[in-house]
Every structure is written in structure tokens, then in C-alpha cells.
Amino acid sequence: MKIDILSLNFEEVLAIANELGEPKFRAQQIFEWLHKRHTVSFEEMNNLPLSLRKKLEDKCEIFGLQEIEKLESKKDGTIKFLSKTHDNALIESVLMSYKHGESVCISTQAGCRMGCKFCASAEQGLHRNLSTGEYLAQVYMAYKSSVHGIKGIVLMGCGEPLDNFDATVNFIELITHHSGLNIGARHITLSTCGLVPEIYKLAEKKLQITLAISLHATNNKIREEIMPIAKKYDLNELIKACRFYAKKTNRRLTFEYALTRDINSSREHALELAKLLKGLLCHVNLIPINKARGEFSPASKKETEEFALVLEKNNIPVTIRRSLGGDVNAACGQLRLRHLL
């Protein structure tokens, strides 16, 4: 079986070059072709000897993505990509434009096994984990459609990043490498539904990324109803892990909170959330929920603003997320699900 070279870090590419009897500068050239020029073919590496390109072709493979569908929002320029992997798995990624630049939201799994009820990604279950190279291929595909280049990365598409822990950490190492896109770690956001052991494990690495917790509830009863992971790790365990993470990394956490009418959007819920997060280095991001399958209704603008006001009065930093790409199925899993059904 050939080596997935796009998933290898620089030291691993160097080891291959050494094995083939090549000097270190060849490894640097190969690495830059992959991660700075985003080539999908050894043949294109025209500053390498033909003999080396042939050896690489025999030993390694570059697993790119095949674009199946590309939708561009007429409202805000958001671009949604549906892509197919080498083994025909479908994955999604989204290129989003903000005042500070363009960011890409990528998938970490084909499907998801977490089962969150408001998320279309979970409806067909987990097909498989994605490789580090498949993470990168999504970013490089979006890069070609960007105007000013990619300024930020969000691991918040299909899948649970911490359920694919090693590939996720390797991706962060590669995407921040000075010979690649060189994205600053502080411009990377990793979103998790709350895998407690992996949060502790991630904290020990002391990465300077932003950890975002998909919270969406202020007590176990509500969270268990909409997020099955809460039955395994209760809210107290999760918040304890978050406090450990903030202390260990000295990084502010983000709590993603999708306001859903008649479920988690009342003043009482806001007060409960403020109490839960008191004293924690954090920020709350209120999300206008995107109706993936029509089961949940978004809170009204008034409810959302009142919820934010309660948090502010209780010294919890809060913002209301701008909804992007509503006309191109930009919520994770929607476009993929449409092709699977």
C-alpha cells in the first residue's frame, strides 16, 4: 500500500528522502510542493529529477479531492464545497468571508457518530475518519477560490475533531508549518461536542488554538435530550475539563450555544448559563440555529438579544454569530445529506 504523503509532517517526508538516498533540500522541495503550491501530482514537481519523481510515484500517493458540487451564496459570498475522497466518501467544507479575511470550515470525518439531534451530519452515522491529508486538501481547495488567501481555519464541519484526535493534532502541526500555509495557531478554532478525556489530552499539548465547546444547554436534562454525548460525560465533568484547559493553556474558551425556541432560550436558561460559566475564562457565541431537518425552531431576534443582555449583565462576554450561507445549505452536513438520501 502506498504512503499517504500529504498526511506526513516534515520529519516524515525527510525520512522518505533519506530512504531514497536524497539530500535534505529535496525533502524541503517536496514539502513545499505539497503544502505551499498545493500540487496533486508528482509530475508537476518540475524542480525534482525525473528519477526521484518516479520513485515518489512508486512509493507514495497524493490523495486529493474531487469536487462534486460548488455553491456560492448570492447573499454574502459564502462558498460551499461538496467533495469526494479517493474511496468515494462525501465530505463538505465552507469558505466564509469576514471583515478580517477569509476562513475555511472543514470536516474531520465523513459523517459523525455523536448523534446530536440538531445536526444533519449525524443523520447517516459515521462512515470513517478523514486523514490529515484530507483535512489539508479541503483547505487547499478553498484556498484556490479565496480572494486574499486563507486567514483562519475552523474545524467545525462534519464530524467530531476530537474523535479523530491524532489526525486533528497532526493537521494543526502541518497547517501552521512555516513551509506551508503558515496559519497562526491563534487563527485556528477546534469545535467539540465535549469529549472530556480528549479535552484533558489536548490541554497537555498547550496549543495556542481556540477551543470551542458545543454546549447548547445549561443542565444535563436538556443536554442529554439533544446531545447523546452528555449521557457519557455530564455537564459538571465537561465544565471541570474546560476549567482545566483554560488554566493549562491560558487560552479563552468559546462556548457555542444554538438558541432553540422553547428548549434553551428563556431568561432562566440565560441565568443558569451565567452561573455555570462564572469565573471561567470564556466567551459565549450565540448561534441562530439553522433548521437542518425542521425539527427545531430558532429563537426570535428579541429572545436572542434578551438572552445576550442577561449574560452581559452577569459579566459573561457574548456575541451573536452572523448567519452565513443560508441559501447554499451552509450548515454542516446539509449538502452531503441531500446527496446521500
Q: Is 272 a catalytic residue?
A: no
Q: Is 304 helix (H, G, I), strand (E, B) or coil?
A: helix
Residue 280's nearest CA partner among 321, 319, 240 is 240
Catalytic residue, from 112, 193, 242, 332: name it. 332
Given a contact cutoff of 8 angstroms between Cβ atoms, the answer to whether 313 and 65 are in contact is: no
Q: Using CA atoms, how far apart are residues 92 and 107, in angstroms rounded to an integer?
A: 6
Query: Catalytic: 92?
Result: yes
3-state secondary structure of 36: coil
Cell 502506498 maps to which residue? 2
Q: How far is CA 125 from the centre of its chain?
A: 18
- 8 Å CB contact between 157 and 107: yes
**β-sheet bridge partners, residue 91:** 83
Distance, CA of 56 to CA of 41 (rounded, Å)? 10
DSSP strand pairing (253-259 vs 282-288):
parallel
Report which secondary-structure segment, H or E, holds 242: helix 235-249
Residues 6+ apart with CB under 8 A from 49: none
Q: Is 176 helix (H, G, I), strand (E, B) or coil?
A: coil
Question: How far apart (Å, rounded) are the C-alpha atoms in residues 142 and 149?
Answer: 9
> Which grid cell is 277?
460559566
**216 grid coordinates:** 447548547
Q: Which class for 58: exposed (0-12), middle (13-18), buried (19 or more C-beta within 10 A)?
A: exposed
**Of the listed 22, 92, 102, 198, which one is catalytic?**
92
| Nearest one of 245, 145, 141 to 190, comparing CA atoms | 245
Catalytic residues: 92, 332
